[in-house]
Structure 1
């Protein structure tokens, strides 16, 4: 059934999505720091478990009433897409060069207009196709994928991108009836329960520094998802999705400030294209 009409606020949605991209980039810095000594199973679990803890003050203050839902099935589907994408992304990081894994992560907005067109019957315009293409070209120039993309393991990275796109569109669908905080809560709760299973054979002891990094990663991820969920409630994924490309630009700036990784000319041009894709994706009244 076609989604009912709702108000569209592309400027507000794009700004919130840009904030989400910044927080996601900061989370990536934390993952890079902690992954040298902590396994992927623990990182995924804590990323989701901290999200559950984030909502404890709300539960203590207002009880469970704000978190009650009649759309548990939709939340389970959103969890399936999102958690599967997360595991695929971590697998891609482990088996592909980091630049290739990043390419797959940030190519998700390329698929969102097509999935939203089939799933939600939202319009697919030439402008959306153009901005998606410009953004992808920019990502290619920044990430500089290697020949490893031709390896069969790259299919897992592609699956991460497509699954993330499905997750974005499912958020748009649920925003008809569910507020952003409830969408994020059920994703964190279901994902924490599922990702706890691998810890039965992959648990490792953590020191104070590692634990503080994991808590920070989980907090950044949760706030980023709340901002993203609210953004997709304000505007269609196909319209503002390319703004998510800003995350790779933010990551590049942070890497330059922290580790002195200076981008080359190709990366600068690619970053400019990413910014253009984000700006062009916002409709002007």
Structure 2
């Protein structure tokens, strides 16, 4: 039996957790590659964002061809646009943060996202916020606070950017979950990539930033941009597939696992040793996620009603 087939036979909650973990691993690769592009090759953040999603779109075209024109048929174009606008803003803020803040601190600050997700999911998706879900999400946030030590002198104004990105992406996550009621995974992925391209192009043009090597780019530049694009396409698909089978609130602690994944990969690539606070904080995040998986693994994703 293939790994994909094995995943399909799992219970919805376990399958959603596995898919979210796969997305987290892919996003960890994206973040490390993005930081490399910004700090080692000097590519401006607006250019990274543009090529990241252009390449991901090209790689996703076979999926569109397989699904056919029906993948782009929708009665919810406005919702797609709102979702992509939130994502585009989050991407720009996130990439800018990665070029100014150590990767382990950026990811830790993004752990504020669960509070925004819970608020939005409760208000707009009518998802149940059980005591277990609330406490495990709170545990993940406390773990993040232990890691970043907000009482220290290491904060700069750039440290606030990941929090802003977290809020924007929380809105994006809830919109993604809402759209899975009406749209296929392929459709949501394609609209994301198609609409992001002109938005990122406009932001690049408005920034006035040039890319003098674009006419004769180096192998290093295109290699890193291609890596970012490939991993982005994979992460997008895994994440949307996860939201299609499990609640956004349930999945959030598994999304928190991107913290140790990013830190470990950043440690390997950049030799960026995290502070000693990282270890107890990461243990708390991982423990909370595994506990939630054990508690909810026997349940299927509950029916939820849209807010009127």
Q: Place the TM-score, normalised by the shorter chain, in its bin.
A: 0.7 to 0.9
The alignment of Structure 1 onto Structure 2 pairs a total of residues equal to 277
Q: Is 2:237 the partner of 1:226?
A: yes
CA distance in 2 between counterparts of 1:247 and 1:57 reads: 28
Unaligned runs of 5+ residues in structure 2 are 1-10, 299-308
Instruction: State the partner residue of 2:222.
Output: 211
Going from structure 1 to structure 2, the CA distance change for 1:18 and 1:138 (only over 3 Å counts) comes to same
Instruction: State the partner residue of 2:86.
Output: 81
Unaligned runs of 5+ residues in structure 1 are 1-7
Q: Residue by residue, what CA displacement relative to the aligned partner does 1:198-237 show, whole Å, maximum 9, x if unpaired?
A: 3332230232211121111011112101111111111111
Q: Tell me how far 1:66 sits from its aligned partner.
A: 2.8
CA distance in 1 between counterparts of 2:159 and 2:138 reads: 20
Q: Is 2:275 the partner of 1:272?
A: no
Instruction: State the partner residue of 1:182.
Output: 187
* Within-5 A mapping of 1:99-138: 99-138=104-143
Q: Residue by residue, what CA displacement relative to the aligned partner does 1:182-208 show, whole Å, maximum 9, x if unpaired?
A: 212111111111111233322302322
Q: Is 2:32 the partner of 1:29?
A: yes
Instruction: State the partner residue of 1:4.
Output: none
Q: CA RMSD in A?
A: 2.3
Q: Tell me how far 1:56 sits from its aligned partner.
A: 2.2
Q: TM-score, normalised by structure 2?
A: 0.82
Instruction: State the partner residue of 2:72.
Output: 67
Going from structure 1 to structure 2, the CA distance change for 1:25 and 1:125 (only over 3 Å counts) comes to same
CA distance in 1 between counterparts of 2:101 and 2:117 reads: 24
Q: Judge which range, 170-179 or 142-151, deviates more.
A: 142-151
Instruction: State the partner residue of 1:235.
Output: 246
Q: SS of 1:123's equivalent?
A: coil
Q: Tell me how far 1:99 sits from its aligned partner.
A: 4.8
Instruction: Report if aligned partners of 2:17, 2:254 keep a CA contact under 8 Å in 1.
Output: yes
Instruction: State the partner residue of 1:198.
Output: 203
Q: Tell me how far 1:72 sits from its aligned partner.
A: 1.1
Instruction: Report if aligned partners of 1:99, 1:144 keep a CA contact under 8 Å in 2.
Output: no
Q: Residue by residue, what CA displacement relative to the aligned partner does 1:259-278 show, whole Å, maximum 9, x if unpaired?
A: 44455543221111111121
Q: Residue by residue, what CA displacement relative to the aligned partner does 1:135-172 show, whole Å, maximum 9, x if unpaired?
A: 11222233444446585x65544321111111111111
Instruction: Report if aligned partners of 2:104, 2:274 keep a CA contact under 8 Å in 1.
Output: no
Q: Is 2:160 the partner of 1:167?
A: no
Q: Judge which range, 60-69 or 160-169, deviates more.
A: 60-69
CA distance in 2 between counterparts of 1:222 and 1:115 reads: 26
Q: Residue by residue, what CA displacement relative to the aligned partner does 1:44-68 show, whole Å, maximum 9, x if unpaired?
A: 1011111210222234556433332
Q: TM-score, normalised by structure 1?
A: 0.88
CA distance in 1 between counterparts of 2:272 and 2:162 reads: 24
Going from structure 1 to structure 2, the CA distance change for 1:203 and 1:275 (only over 3 Å counts) comes to same
Instruction: State the partner residue of 2:257.
Output: 246
Q: Tell me how far 1:246 sits from its aligned partner.
A: 1.0
Instruction: State the partner residue of 2:267.
Output: 256
